Chain A
Amino acid sequence: MARVVVDVMPKPEILDVQGQAVSRALTRIGVAGVADVRQGKHFELEVDDSVDDETLHRIAGDLLANPVIEDWKVTRV
């Protein structure tokens, strides 16, 4: 078994309204100096050795992320 991490983030050109809301909230807890926040998703998969990289990218691109609006990164840890 291996652990795989898939990080999914809104594409840079997509307006991330959730990240903006988090960014604005930072000022309410007295934090200054944070220029930008972008919010994404983090998936942790337990996979057996038969799952190759091609399959992992299929999992990420066909289900975990929507390629129209999101980028993804697959990392074996």
Chain B
Amino acid sequence: MSAVRIGVITFPGTLDDVDAARAVRRAGAEPVALWHSDRDLQGVDAVVVPGGFSYGDYLRAGAIASLAPIMSEVVSGAAGGLPVLGICNGFQILCEAGLLPGALARNAGLHFVCRDQRLRVENAGTAWTSAFTEGEEIVVPVKNAEGRYVADGETLTRLEDEGRVAFRYVGGNPNGAMADIAGITSENGRVVGLMPHPEHAIDTLTGPSEQGLGLFTSLLRTLTGAAV
């Protein structure tokens, strides 16, 4: 079949679109640059909303970007099952856009935390985690100041009961996130958001591991039905 095409959105202030596109390419798919002010997803098979400081984090991290024209296309695409991955600021944007529940608040301790972080894959059944095994631990960088996942008690209970915590921090919670939550998934497992950066961990030359690539190969495996 022809190459899987994965869109990578660039907003004003996005930082990690280049690394996200590199990870997409390394996984064997074709990255497609998507622009915030466009209303066209160019027929991509999936979308990555990368990290950075879209619109300078004005108002709240991700708040302005969630209202960008391209995001209304992403929201309607996701309603039809389009796989979407939000990383860091992308996760904040997906929460602000209502694609994922909860919110990301200022880190407990107020510090910008930048370090290699161990995560446990809690749900290996999503579109972006199927190449992992449940309980597998991976190491990827985390780098943010507003990464503390918060949600009301009812939402937290629902996420836990439905197995929608995709990634959990292990070996130390970097930001005070509730229940050590690093990433969550939508009800249908097609939308995933996480604060740590898998796109920075695709080779040992530039990152702490190659394990971040697994999110991108997972997507290919999901879309093509092929074993990796």
Contacts and interface: CB of A to CB of B under 8 A. Distances in A.
Interface of A: 10, 14-15, 17-18, 21, 63-64, 66, 68-69
Interface string B127-165: 000000000000000000000101110000000000000
Given A63-B63, A66-B96, A68-B102, A17 B152 contact: no
Interface string B48-74: 000000000001100100010000000
Interface of B: 59-60, 63, 67, 95-96, 101-103, 105-110, 148, 150-152, 176
Given A14-B105, A15-B176, A63-B63, A68 B110 contact: no
Contact of A17 (B95, B102, B106): B106
A31 to B, nearest CB: 20
A69 B150 CA distance: 8
24 contacts: A10-B105, A14-B105, A15-B105, A15-B108, A15-B148, A15-B176, A17-B105, A17-B107, A17-B110, A18-B106, A18-B110, A21-B110, A63-B59, A63-B63, A64-B59, A66-B63, A66-B96, A66-B103, A68-B95, A68-B103, A68-B151, A68-B152, A69-B103, A69-B150
